[in-house]
Chains A and B, each alone.
Chain A
Amino acid sequence: MEARGRRDGGGAGRVPGDAVSAGARLRSFLASLGRRARLERDMDAELRFHLEARADDLARGGMPRAEAERRARLEFGGMEGWKEECRQARGLRWPDELRQDLRFALRGLRRNPGFAAVAVLTLALGIGVNTAMITVAESVLRRPLPYRDPARLVMVYSIGSFGPFSWRDGPFADPDYLELRRLGAFSDLATFATFESSLTGAGEPVRALRSDVTPSLFPLLGVAPALGRVFREGEEQAASGAVTVLSDGLWRGRFHADPGVIGRVETVDGVPTTIVGVMPPAFNFPPKTGLWTPLRIRPTYRDNMMNRVVGRLASGIGREQARAQAKTLIDAVGRSLPPAQRHSDVTVVALQESLVGTVRPLLLVLLGAVGLVLLIACANMASLLMARAASRRHEMSLRAVLGAGRGRLLRQMLTESLVLALLGGVAGLALARASLPVLLAWVPPNMLPRIDEVRVDAAVAAAAGALCLATGVLFGLAPAWWGSRRDLGPAQKHRAASASTPAERRVRGALVAAETALVMVLLVGAGLLLKSFWRLQRVDPGFRREGILTMSVSLPDRVYATVEQKRDFYARLLERLRAVPGAGEVSAVNLLPFGWQSWQGDFTVEGTDHPSDFVAGKPAVSEGYFRLMGIPLHRGRFFEERDGAGAPRVAIVSEAVARRCWPGQDAVGRRLTMDDPKDGTWLTVVGVVGDVRQDTLAGDTLPMIYVPARQEWRGFFLGSMAFLARAPGDPAPLASALRAELRALDPELPVQRIERLDDLLSGSLAQPRFRTAVLLTFALLALVLALVGIYGVTAYEVTRRTPEIGIRRALGAQTSAVLRLVLGRSLARVLAGLAAGVPGALVLTRLLRSFLFGVSPADLATFLAVTLAVTTAALLASIIPARRAARVDPAVALRYD
């Protein structure tokens, strides 16, 4: 043994590895690798020679030949151990053992296809959903925007409040923007506003988002056009005619990627406009823009509150510094402004954060959920591998006796779990790749920013690989540690007598309990979302949702310039639509509930000297609107034929307005104004109707002040109108009839949106529905995995305890007693898991609070239902093995093993 101990000592005073021997070592290592087989043969021959020569010597001393050979072998010691050291001396041990371990692992898995399949599938699911979610989160949240030096790009927002209004991500008026440009904190700034627009000319008219931007936007973001040019500084003020730059999407969709499109004149919102450039596909700012036009800056105009500001921080300037500078500036400017135009504060938000900040909470919750799924998969793997290690104890102890060190056994078992992790990882990656497009197609529109940028990149691949290796180590380590224990010899001897050691049982119990706790957390989360969704769906919107078809019509200001032109167009269209056979009742409204736009404002009640302390929606409606929508009349009357353009101005208020403005009194006959009370137009309330929900089922009802569309005097609110028609049956024929009437009236208007009111309402539920479905899917996946785990552990224990159960049966135990024995243990573990899961769920579901509606994060019913469901499911998973145990034939069982 002495010589063995000295290996690491090295030569006293030796210079470690001079140049010659380093080269020699590398050559020797490579040569050894290349001539593996020969080297092994040589080593065998060399050692055989030694034994024979030694035996010869011993025999010459008078020992019988056979005895001499035995003696020679004995003196030499463990042959395999020395060979191993020889290989190691040549630096061969590592690749050699790895190859051996790999071969061994693969052979083992082939021999147990069932085990391998369950293991790989479990991992594939765990790693698959994680990779998919990581891909989305990484692409959306973490990956830098595809612009030049994106970390320095920021949005500059105003914050303020006035009367019932308040804004947190507010705009700046043009004079403020010009002031901001002078600050040293920003190396450049741009301002922009986005509108719905229509593009007409050759071919079908189309609708697209148009962004008016200062020419500085493109150099600010550092993106060059793919074709043509972007705007020149000052171009917006020039009289040379309108110009536009197209997005890649619009260019491909409408112009079939024709490079000759540069210089062509199209009609944008009624104005002949020359196409001067096309942007590359990655350029998507402001988000979803179809075409950019130059924004005209009005240096003294303060009433436009549409333009947001984007900027680039000067080098060495932090967001906080920039904010401080901007705040000082805006405060100084504000002192000379009326209160309505003052901002109380400024924020500077990273551009990326401003784009994706809203989905961050949801993505993090989902990431957490799949993380829990992966943990369950790992727990499953650990119990699977533990059972496997136990069934291989005999083999392992044999190998230990033959001189394999503990480290070597440990590594071998870790190799097996790593191989499993790798197989599972590859399958999981394939699963992620296959499921990602499905998942993304399932995402409701406008829910996920940067959705077009979602793809697997190096960071995702690295994360998936790390996940894979980590799970391999995580679930492989405990069973490997336990399986490689030195006391395997004695344990092996007692194999038949003892089912499993208490320590093993405790570990298995802990794994089952942990799985149960994790599943409980996920199911409670999913249950809370489900209940919220159910609640949300049952909210009464205050109007009839079924059987109504809606068509929105937008009129470009440049063609329909005056209020009269617009009102006239709508009146004629209404007339034509009413004549359509099968249309029945037809009406119109400019602010359709759950529609495409929403405006709210304050108003002043006669007899008070200040505006209302709350905002109201102010829809303009045609006759028949309330009847068609099924909005009930509480007092007074609906609008009638007589409420025309020249007639006395009238209004109908919703119950909420009546209650808040004239509590305990009759609202009918009262007057209010939406203008400045000093010189405004007073509207007389002629009716009170029921409250409706305008934008979301989750929030409060919006107080409403309805005016007759024919009396609407503000052109801004007549820019678009939604026409409604009763369509009890299949809406398709009616839809095409409506569209035909519209085209007959103005063929230049682009195709308008035609949708069922019911679909619009459902659309407002799309996001809650999506997140509920996704979390529910993850939770059910976790449940299935956990049940597989519980089933596996119980089945394994029943097999191990067959002799014990046999003895019990032989001693007269009833079937029910055996069932109790098996189920009792399962139940105890599950209950322990639930006990741990309840506080866990209470803590974690608080993260869901912002997604809940009408349900507390600690909702008792949900917790009870989940507890009951998990317990039942776990008992069902245990009952199959339990019944097998109960059928054990004592005679067979006692012979077992």
Chain B
Amino acid sequence: MIEPASLLPGTLDLLILKAVSLGPLHGYGVLLRIEQMTGRAFAVEQGALYPALHRLEHQGLLGSDWGTSENNRKAKYYRLTAAGRRRLSEETAQWKRVAAAMAAALGASPETR
């Protein structure tokens, strides 16, 4: 079994924004969505999710409402705000540039002399 990789700095926020952009989710739902999206490649510590959620809400990137979950429990649902959506697209573009550059760099074949 392959060890789940560590999250790169800054990626948890991006993953949360991405997860929530597909529709409002409660905290546990965010966790499941991230696991599903990444194919469990990353280990997200469960407790660590909540400080991140609260911080994003504090920054105005997420909004929240109380709703009822699938099994009839009261749960706090997070949704993306307009600012959150802007931030997501900015960071996605940024990430893609970095990823492309990294891929190019690592994929380059050795030069022949």
Contacts and interface: CB of A to CB of B under 8 A. Distances in A.
A50 B45 contact: no
B55 A3 contact: no
Interface in A46-65: 46-47, 49-50, 52-54, 56
A53 B59 CA distance: 27
Given A77-B47, A82-B47, A89-B54, A20 B73 contact: no
A760 B70 CA distance: 100
A79 interface: yes
B10 to A, nearest CB: 4
B46 to A, nearest CB: 5
Nearest to A74: B46
Given A6-B7, A10-B10, A89-B54, A75 B73 contact: no
Looking at B27, B47, B48, B57, the one whose CB has the most chain A CB atoms below 10 A away is: B47
Contacts of A91: 58
A90 interface: yes
A45 interface: yes
B73 A77 contact: no
A3 B50 contact: no
Given A21-B59, A49-B26, A6 B50 contact: no
A204 interface: no
Interface in A829-886: none
A217 B13 CA distance: 75
Contacts of A897: none
Contacts of B43: 2
A29 interface: yes
A101 to B, nearest CB: 21
Nearest to A86: B54
A70 B60 CA distance: 34
B101 interface: no
Contacts of B100: none
A889 to B, nearest CB: 52
B36 interface: no
Nearest to A24: B60
A335 interface: no
Looking at A9, A20, A53, A79, the one whose CB has the most chain B CB atoms below 10 A away is: A53
B76 interface: yes
Nearest to B27: A50
B52 interface: yes
Nearest to A14: B91
A25 B47 contact: no
A2 B73 contact: no
Given A2-B6, A2-B7, A89-B55, A46 B50 contact: yes
Contacts of B90: 14
A45 B45 contact: no
A4 interface: yes
B58 A89 contact: yes
Contact of B51 (A2, A76, A78, A86): A86
Contact of A4 (B13, B14, B45, B58): B45
A78 B47 CA distance: 8
Contacts of A88: 51
Q: Is the interface of A mostly helix, strand, loop or mixed?
A: helix
Contact of B28 (A12, A53, A85): A53
Interface string B58-82: 1111000010010101111000000
A3 B44 CA distance: 7
Given A2-B45, A6-B9, A28 B58 contact: yes
A318 interface: no
Contacts, number: 126
Nearest to B98: A12
Interface in B87-101: 87, 90-91, 94-95, 98
B83 A6 contact: no
B71 A56 contact: yes
Contact of A20 (B12, B60, B98): B60
A13 interface: yes
A42 interface: yes
B38 to A, nearest CB: 13
A50 B73 contact: no
B76 A86 contact: no
A6 B50 CA distance: 14
Contacts of A89: 51-52, 54-55, 58
Interface string A81-96: 1100110111100000
Contact of B54 (A6, A12, A90): A90
B46 A54 contact: yes
A24 B73 CA distance: 29
A11 interface: yes
A6 B60 CA distance: 20
Interface string B1-30: 000001111111110000000000011100
A86 B50 contact: yes
A28 B59 CA distance: 8
A1 interface: yes
A678 interface: no
Contacts of A3: 7, 12, 44-45, 48-49, 52
Given A25-B58, A53-B69, 10 more contacts: A3-B44, A3-B48, A9-B9, A10-B9, A12-B91, A28-B57, A52-B73, A79-B47, A85-B50, A90-B57
30 contacts: A2-B45, A3-B45, A6-B8, A6-B10, A9-B9, A10-B9, A11-B14, A12-B10, A12-B94, A12-B95, A21-B61, A24-B58, A28-B57, A28-B58, A45-B74, A46-B27, A46-B50, A49-B76, A53-B26, A75-B46, A76-B47, A77-B47, A82-B47, A82-B48, A85-B50, A85-B51, A86-B54, A88-B51, A89-B55, A90-B55
Interface of B: 6-14, 26-28, 43-52, 54-55, 57-61, 66, 69, 71, 73-76, 83, 87, 90-91, 94-95, 98
Interface of A: 1-7, 9-14, 20-21, 23-25, 28-29, 42-43, 45-47, 49-50, 52-54, 56, 75-79, 81-82, 85-86, 88-91
Q: Which 5 A-B pairs have the closest CB atoms?
A: A24-B60, A9-B9, A3-B48, A89-B55, A85-B51
